[in-house]
Amino acid sequence: MAQKYSEYTVPGIGQENGHEIAGLLQGRLHALNDLQLVLKHVHWNVVGPNFIAVHEMLDPQTETVRGLVDELAERIATLGGSPSGLTGELVSARSWEDYPLHKAGVQEHLAELEKVYTGVVEDHRDVLSKVGQIDPITEDLLIGQVKELELFQWFIRSHLER
């Protein structure tokens, strides 16, 4: 579904630029909204001898990603867009499938989650390079998000490395 725009954007970058960035951010919003749900899904479905440690590791990741979602959505609104947080629109718009596992061992889940993070980070870095020319504020916001996401990915990779 196409975004609706207000008649304003942030001061100093022009309405067209502002609305274009808002449009790019909508894709990142869907990605992070899906990620917060996947993190909870894994939180419930991991099993095995390391259950409790990984179960607990995922909650602060969920909490942080939910914060990033809110930050993105309010930036879209600030730029004059109308952020969509709806599941139907998310599923229609996304270019990826549902996360593939249900109840499964810790290492299997972490291996899948590692791939999810790679996808999210690559796309974030892609949008980041596009918006940097126009709006340093949005650029900085995305840099801060990538920093957190890459750290979480490292946590997960550290379980998989030998």
Of residues 77-136, those binding its own copies (CB under 8 A): 77-78, 82-91, 97-99, 102-103, 105-107, 117-118, 121-122, 125-126, 128, 132, 136
CA distance 159 to 57: 12
CB of 19 to its own copies, least distance (A): 13
CB of 23 to its own copies, least distance (A): 14
Consecutive H or E run containing 113: helix 106-131
- 81-92 CB burial, b ≥16 within 10 A, e <16: bebbeeeeebee
Looking at residues 41 to 80 of the shown chain, list those that interact with its own copies (rule: CB under 8 A).
Answer: 41, 44-55, 57, 69-70, 73-74, 76-78
CA distance 88 to 79: 24
Secondary structure (3-state) at 135: coil
CB of 158 to its own copies, least distance (A): 4
CB of 123 to its own copies, least distance (A): 9
CA distance 126 to 143: 11
Task: Tell the residue number behind the tokens 């942080």, with chain if given.
Answer: 64
CA 55 to chain centre: 20
Our finding on whether 38 is near its own copies (CB under 8 A) is yes
CB of 106 to its own copies, least distance (A): 7
Indicate the angle between helix axes 51-78 and 106-131, nearest 10 degrees: 20
